[in-house]
Structure 1
Amino acid sequence: MSWKEVFSSSRYWAVYNPAVAAPSPVLAWVDLSLMPDDVKPSWWTSDLSQIALTAAQWTARQTTGQGIQNGAIVAYTPPAAVVPLKTQATSAQAWIQQQANLAAAMGATFTADMKAYVLAINAIASGTDTTSTTLPAQPTDVMTATTTTGATT
C-alpha cells in the first residue's frame, strides 16, 4: 500500500502540528496529485497531523492567516514575537553609541537624563539589572551644548 492510499479520502490536505496550542498554524497545503506515489515527503513527519479538505476549501485557502482548530480551518493570527529585554537593551546600545559619536563630533556632552539612560540600558544589557521589565524611555534631551570662549590677547 502506498503512503497516498492512506490519504485516499481526499485529494487536498492541510498539515499542522497538534503539539502547538490551537489554533495551530497551517504548515503546508498539500495537493496529493502533485506528490510522488512511492515516497512520502520527508518534511511530512509522523508528529504532524492533517485534515482533509474539500475542493471548495482548497480553492478558498490562503497562504497566511489560517489555522486549524477542532478539525476545522479557522482565522489565525500568529502571536507577536517576544523580544527578550536584554536583546532590546543591546539594540538600544547601538543608538547610544550613535549619540555618543555625534556628541563627540560636536564637542557636546550627554545630559544627566542621557547619562542615567545609558547606565540603565547597560545594566539591563549586561544582566546586572534583572528586575526591569521594560526599557526606560529614550530621553528627549540627549546632549548639552558646550560653549567655547576665544582667548584674547
Structure 2
Amino acid sequence: MAYDTTAPQPTPVTARYDMAQYDDLSGLPAASDLIALTAEQYSAIGLSGIGVSGGKVVPYSPPAPPVPLQTQAKNAQAWITQQANLAAAMGETFTADMKAYVIAINAIASGTDTTSTALPDQPTDVMTASAAAATT
C-alpha cells in the first residue's frame, strides 16, 4: 500500500499494489514508501476505512470537508428566521446585537462580505420586549 509519507498522520492509503502482478517494478513507488501486507492482513483489512500512522495500518475515516463560510452563513439564516418568527409572535423586537448579527450574516451569505473568515458569534440577547408588550 502506498501513502503520502509527508502528510499529517493518520493519512489515507493512496494506492494498493499486488506486487505479484508486476514483472517490472520500475514504475512503482520505492519500497520504503510502501507498506507490505500479507494476504491474511489484506483480507482482514478490506478495501476501505484504512490509513497509515507511524508506518502501521490503522482504521481511518477521512475528516469532514470544510463547509464554506458563505454556506455556513446561509445555514445561520435559518436560525435568524426562526428567531424573527418568535419575536413577531411574541410582540418583541430584535436587540441591537441581534440586528448587527443579522446584517453581518446577510452580508456573508449574499457574498458582499468577502473579507470575513468566520461567522460572528450568535448574540445571547436576541429579543427585547416592545413598548406595547411591556405595558400589558
**What residue in structure 1 maps to residue 57 of structure 2?**
74
**What residue in structure 2 maps to residue 139 of structure 1?**
123
Matched position secondary structure for 1:135:
coil
Q: Indicate the percent of aligned positions where both proteins have the same amino acid.
A: 63
Please report the TM-score for the alignment, with normalisation by the length of structure 1: 0.59
For the residues of structure 2 that align with 1:86 and 1:62, how far apart are their CA atoms?
A: 38
Q: What is the identity, as a one-letter code, of the residue corresponding to 1:74?
A: V
Equivalent pair of 2:12/2:62 in contact (CA under 8 Å): no
Larger radius of gyration: 1
In the TM superposition, 1:37-48 aligns within 5 A as none
For the residues of structure 1 that align with 2:67 and 2:123, how far apart are their CA atoms?
A: 22
Unaligned runs of 5+ in 1: 1-13, 27-48
**What residue in structure 2 maps to residue 8 of structure 1?**
none
Q: What is the identity, as a one-letter code, of the residue corresponding to 1:108?
A: E
Q: Tell me whether 58-67 or 100-109 shows the greater mean CA deviation.
A: 58-67
Cα distance, 1:98–1:141 mapped onto 2, change above 3 Å: same
* 1:110 to 2:94 alignment: yes
RMSD of equivalent CA atoms: 3.0
Matched position secondary structure for 2:57:
strand
Equivalent pair of 1:110/1:143 in contact (CA under 8 Å): yes
**What residue in structure 2 maps to residue 130 of structure 1?**
114
Q: Alignment partner for residue 69 of structure 2, among 79, 82, 85?
A: 85
**What residue in structure 2 maps to residue 24 of structure 1?**
12
Matched position secondary structure for 1:104:
helix
- Cα offset, 1:145, TM superposition: 1.1
Q: Alignment partner for residue 40 of structure 2, among 42, 56, 59?
A: 56
**What residue in structure 2 maps to residue 99 of structure 1?**
83
- Cα offset, 1:113, TM superposition: 0.2
- Identify the structure with the greater helix proportion: 2
Equivalent pair of 1:93/1:121 in contact (CA under 8 Å): yes
- Cα offset, 1:74, TM superposition: 2.6
- Cα offset, 1:110, TM superposition: 0.1
Give the count of matched residue pairs: 110
